[in-house]
A and B are shown apart, each in its own frame.
Chain A
Amino acid sequence: DVKVTQSSRYLVKRTGEKVFLECVQDMDHENMFWYRQDPGLGLRLIYFSYDVKMKEKGDIPEGYSVSREKKERFSLILESASTNQTSMYLCASTHRGRDYEQYFGPGTRLTVT
C-alpha cells in the first residue's frame, strides 16, 4: 500500500520559532509537493521538488523554504513562524512526467500563537 507520511498531525508553535515539517514517501517518486490549505481558499502550492536538491517555487513561497536531501524525504521550513502561517499543511508525491495522480499525506495542522 502506497504511503505518504507527515511527521506530526498537530503542531503548536510560538511566533518567531523555526518550524520543520517533514514528509516521507515510500513510492520512489521523483516529485514531491508542499501545499497549505485554508478555509475558502482551497489548496495553494508552496514549493515542489522534482529531484534531490532541486526545488521550484509554487504560488505562495514567501516565508517558507524547503530541503530535499534524499529522494524519499521533503522538508518544509518556516524560518520564523508567524500567526498568518497557521494552517493545514499537506504533502504530496508523484512520478516525474505528466498525467500522474498525486498521493497525499494526512496533513499537519499547525497553529502559531
Chain B
Amino acid sequence: SQQGEEDPQALSIQEGENATMNCSYKTSINNLQWYRQNSGRGLVHLILIRSNEREKHSGRLRVTLDTSKKSSSLLITASRAADTASYFCATGQTQGGSEKLVFGKGTKLTVNP
C-alpha cells in the first residue's frame, strides 16, 4: 500500500509563529489522522478528519482535507517550545473487513524559544 508523504521533512520556527505541515496520499481513504511523537516515545493521537469532512479544529490545531487533491494540512497556531516533536499523518484504509492506518514518514518540528 502507498504511504502518505509529509512535507516538509523538517521545520524550524520561533515560538509564537504558526506551523503548517502537509500530507499527500494516493489511495481512497476512510479518514485521515494526525499523530505526534516526542523523541523516542510512542505516538499520541491529535485529530481525526473523516473523508466527508473538509475542516476540523481542536484547540490550537486546524486540519483540512481535500479528497479531490488527496491532500491534508495540519496547522498549529501560536506554537510553543513544547510543540517540538515529530508529526505523522496516517490514512485510515479498509483491509480484511477492518481498518488499518498507513503512516507517512513524518515532519520534524522544532520550535525555538
Verify if B88 is at the interface (C-beta below 8 Å from A).
yes
Partner among A98, A103, A106 whose Cβ is within 8 Å of the Cβ of B94: A98
| Cross-chain contact A102 with B45 (CB below 8 angstroms) | yes
Q: Judging by beta carbons under 8 Å apart, are B98 and A50 in contact? A: yes
Which residues of B, 10-32, contact A by the 8 Å Cβ criterion? Answer: 30-31
In angstroms, Cα B67 to Cα A83, docked, is 40
CA distance A110 to B44 in the complex (A): 21
A42-B98 in contact given A102-B45, A106-B42 (Cβ < 8 Å):
no
Given contacts A42-B88, A56-B98, whether A98 and B30 have CB atoms under 8 Å apart is yes
Q: A42, B103: Cβ atoms under 8 Å?
A: yes
In chain B between 84 and 113, which residues have their CB closer than 8 angstroms to a CB of chain A?
88, 90, 92, 94-106
Query: How far in angstroms is the closest Cβ of chain A from B23?
Result: 11
Taking A50-B96, A99-B30, A101-B33 as contacts, is the C-beta distance between A42 and B48 under 8 angstroms?
no
Query: Min CB distance, B86 to chain A, in Å?
Result: 9
Q: B68 on the interface (CB 8 Å rule)?
A: no
Contacts of A104 in B (CB 8 A): 35, 42-44
Binary B-proximity of A55-77 (CB < 8 A = 1, otherwise 0): 01011000000000000000000
Which residue in B35, B48, B90 is a CB contact (below 8 Å) of A99? Answer: B48
Q: A50-B96, A59-B1 are in contact. List 10 more A-B contacts (CB 8 A).
A: A42-B106, A43-B90, A48-B98, A56-B100, A58-B100, A59-B102, A90-B43, A98-B30, A98-B99, A109-B40
User: What are 26 A-B interface contacts by the 8 Å CB criterion?
Assistant: A31-B99, A33-B100, A33-B101, A35-B103, A42-B3, A42-B88, A48-B100, A50-B97, A50-B98, A56-B100, A58-B100, A59-B102, A88-B40, A90-B42, A92-B43, A97-B98, A98-B30, A98-B92, A98-B99, A102-B101, A103-B45, A104-B42, A104-B43, A106-B41, A107-B42, A109-B40
